[in-house]
Amino acid sequence: MEQVLVVGAGFMGAGIAQVCAQKGLSVILNDVKQDVLDRAMEQMAASVAKLHSKGLVSDSPDQVLARVSTSAGLSAAAQADWIIEAAFEELELKLELFSELGRLARQDTPLASNTSSIPIGRLAEAAGHPERVLGLHFFGPVPLMGLVEVVKAPQTSEEVFERGAEFVRFLGKTPVKVGRDIPGFVMNRVFAAAMREASDLVAEGVVTPEDVDIGMKLGYGWNAGPFEIADNAGLDTFARINVFLRSMNETGLVPSHDLIERMVKEGRLGRKVGKGFYDYDAGGKRHPRSKKN
């Protein structure tokens, strides 16, 4: 059985680990915090049970979860056939991780990053044997979303780029190949431009988040509005992406107002903490933001 090491067990890493295990791969899920690993396993169990009950996953939750083990260290990199990094969106952290993973992994093991905004070539430089480094940009929630951008850095070999697209198809998802290694790739550049305008209009008091979301769904056929997407993704992750995009002078992709940064300071991180642009009840149901909290 092929083995996958997933580095970072947050919203994205846990989802990536889950879809790999659902397809029969053996998965080591790594994070620096044991409580994050424990929570990831609990969330995975609940998600697989739900998908299994709807007939969307044929193996039982026990069978799927038996393929996942957790580790606070990276030694599993030496045996891994695929390594997918999904740690915080911070350049220095990812450079350190790619340098270490590059040292530990076999030379032919593809090293993928799920980064939202950092050019893959920067990570490839840190890893040694840069031809094996690529972007696999999953969309969240990973068990439900069908798209993965496969990103080729200038250093990525054609063979690894092709293997990336094949791996995505094996996971039951659709690859979109991105042949130019630019910050935010394609989909996040398009989304960030929409989000920049939407959050500036909200910050200026022109419109509410709910009305923008309704408008984008009814007017443009989006399945979810930009503020629903932002709450699901985590506003702290959005703030980290903004820091990196600003450092690259990608001002067209970053809001002019600091609305998201202020919300992060107030602890409004989105769905995972029960409050963001919306409030969420214990059952996860979304409500317009209450003025009280």
Ligand X SMILES: NC(=O)c1ccc[n+]([C@@H]2O[C@H](COP(=O)([O-])OP(=O)(O)OC[C@H]3O[C@@H](n4cnc5c(N)ncnc54)[C@H](O)[C@@H]3O)[C@@H](O)[C@H]2O)c1
- Binding piece for ligand X, criterion CB under 6 A, among 19-27, 175-183, 233-241, 256-264: 233-241
Quick one: which of 31, 131, 181, 279 contacts ligand X (CB under 6 A)? Answer: 31
Q: From CA 119, how far away is CA 135, in angstroms rounded?
A: 9
Which of 88, 154, 174, 288 lies at the binding interface for ligand X (CB under 6 A)? 88
Residues listed for the chain:
293
Contact pick of 4, 5, 6, 11 for ligand X (by CB under 6 A): 11
51: contact with ligand X by CB under 6 A: no
Order the strands of the 3-7 sheet from edge to edge. Answer: 68-71, 26-30, 3-7, 82-85, 111-113, 133-138, 147-151, 174-178
Nearest to 139 by CA among 131, 130, 148: 148
* Token code pair at residue 33: 């915090």
Contact at 8 Å (CB) between 21 and 64? yes
Q: Does the active-site annotation cover 116? A: yes
Query: Does residue 9 belong to the site contacting ligand X (CB under 6 A)?
Result: yes
Choose which of 237, 239, 254, 264 interacts with ligand X (CB under 6 A). 237
Report in angstroms how near the CB of residue 180 gets to ligand X at its nearest. Answer: 18
Residue 30 within binding range of ligand X, rule CB under 6 A? yes
Q: CB 42 → ligand X: shortest distance, Å?
A: 14
Residue 149 a catalytic site member = yes
Q: Is residue 188 annotated as part of the catalytic site, yes or no?
A: yes
Count residues contacting ligand X (CB under 6 A)? 29
What is the number of other CB atoms lying within 10 angstroms of the CB of residue 191? 18
Backbone angles phi, psi at 4, to 5 degrees: -120, 130
User: How many other C-beta atoms lie within 10 A of the C-beta of residue 40?
Assistant: 24
Q: Which range, of 82-90, 151-159, 208-216, 278-286, touches ligand X by CB under 6 A?
A: 82-90
Burial class (CB in 10 A: 0-12, 13-18, 19+), 293: exposed
Residues making contact with ligand X (CB under 6 A):
7-13, 30-33, 36, 86-89, 93, 97, 114-116, 137-140, 233-234, 237, 241
Active site residues: 116, 137, 149, 188
